[in-house]
Amino acid sequence: MLEMFKYLVGSAGASGYGSKSTAEEVSESCMNSITAIVTGATSGIGEETARVLAKRGVRIIIPARNLKAAEEAKARIVSESNCFDRSRITVMALDLSSVKSVVNFVSNFESLNLPLNLLINNAGRFCYEHALSEDGIEMTFATNYLGHFLLTKLLLNRMIETAKSTGVQGRIVNVTSNIHSWFSGDIFEYLGQISQKNRVYDSTRAYAFSKLANVLHTVQLAHKLQEMKANVTVNCVHPGVVKTNLNREREGFVTDLIFYMASKSRLLKIIPEGAATSCYVATNRNVENVNGKYFADCNDQGSCECKTKSAHLAEGLWSASETIVSTLTGKPQP
């Protein structure tokens, strides 16, 4: 009850920020030497994250499946962030549900010969009906987790090299959701079943599974970065409940009424509040050298490993993910 009260009133936690803090309030300034990739930046939390980072001087890469929507988002970001140099915001093609598209995006990004300091894996999808990607992978899992897993893996060397050459710590932010705790059952059994055609499909369970996978990804990647002694960290964030395009497939009177009532009770965050935790973890000095943690309302909620019930799950999912992408790309992943 006390925690709910603190959330509703926006009480500050140990970081000095709380549930009602905005992305502009929590982010550091003067970041002109920083380059960031922000997935899902064509609207909602991702766009706000990109806008605030651009306002702080960060060079922004917007990967998008819909290039028209990305160019429109770029125009808004330039207008609203006082970023007068349009060349510091680059739109590039990326469909996270497609392994081929992820590989092509990374190749195209590397051809730009840019550094990479921040990777914010923000894009998300909630499929109400069972659908498969072009690779035959259940669409929610393919977009929310597997695409980001491969994207991060392929960009990791560039981030490590950037951190080494500049002395600026690289940061990876995985956007998850507290809904990850709703998933129950054997994750490997579920992983083997979810992409089967004509199966009974529970959209909420599929979404929860993808978000649990984001947390497990953070756990294992944090371990690997520590073993490599890389000057790069990874943490995951729960942005809170925000009405964004994630809910676009179920827009209508009932959905709008639910979100309206939630917003009036302050259970629902506005977009600048929803983007705050991502911006805090990506930029704030308080998060320097912090690795493998779970953040909500701009405050450290403890180790991601504690959120996943069993440490071996993270290693197992990583191995399974490598097998999947190796099969789909036709070559083993480094």
Residue 275 · residue 23 · CB < 8 Å: yes
Residue 58 · residue 52 · CB < 8 Å: no
201 annotated active-site: yes
Residue 188 · residue 316 · CB < 8 Å: yes
* Ramachandran angles phi, psi of 187, nearest 5°: -65, -30
Residue 55 · residue 83 · CB < 8 Å: yes
One-letter amino acid for residue 163 of the chain: A
Tokens of 302: 């403890």
Angle at which helix 147-166 crosses helix 203-228, to 10 degrees, equals 30
198 burial (CB, 10 Å; 0-12 / 13-18 / 19+) is exposed
Catalytic residue among 17, 201, 207, 280: 201
Q: How far apart are CA 31 and CA 35, in angstroms?
A: 9
Tokens of 110: 């590397």
CA 49 to chain centre: 11
Does an H or E element contain 301, and which? strand 299-303
Task: State the catalytic residues.
Answer: 201
